[in-house]
Structure 1
Amino acid sequence: MLHLRLLKAIVERKNRLRRGGDEGQTVFEYLGIIVIISLIIAAIIASGLAGNISGAITAVLKKITG
């Protein structure tokens, strides 16, 4: 019984160590997504499409609510 608990503890520790190596990668993946979304938003604002999109959303909301 003691051997099984010891084996379980060793396996759990190894699994935690394996998963720990991926955490930094995940942070950089999220950072990359945030950067891409920010660039898309900046491009929309710079191109002047922001006003058109805002107007379209406002028109749709007026149709829904009134």
Structure 2
Amino acid sequence: MQNLKLLKAIVERKNRMRRGADEGQTVFEYLGIIVIIALIIAAIIGSGLAAAIAGAITQQLANITN
């Protein structure tokens, strides 16, 4: 009976440790995705492509409403 309690405690501790490691990794993965998206947006704005995209969207919206 004592061995079963000890085994259960060990398994629960290992599970808690695994969850903590996954949470930290997830934060860095999200941060990486945010940085990549920010770089893509900066490249679009810096290249002047943003104005072309905005103009095309405005033209298509005008076509739909007219």
**What TM-score range do you get, normalising by the shorter chain?**
0.7 to 0.9
Larger mean CA deviation between 44-53 and 17-26 belongs to 17-26
TM, length-normalised to structure 1 = 0.73
Which runs of 5 or more structure 1 residues have no equivalent in the other structure? none
CA RMSD after TM alignment? 2.5
Give, in angstroms, the shift of residue 61 of structure 1. Answer: 1.8
Task: Tell me the matched-pair count.
Answer: 66
Residue number in structure 1 paired with 2:53: 53
The one-letter code of the counterpart of 1:35 is V
Which runs of 5 or more structure 2 residues have no equivalent in the other structure? none
CA distance in 2, matches of 1:65, 1:26: 44
How many percent identity over aligned positions? 79
Give, in angstroms, the shift of residue 57 of structure 1. Answer: 1.1
CA distance in 2, matches of 1:7, 1:16: 14
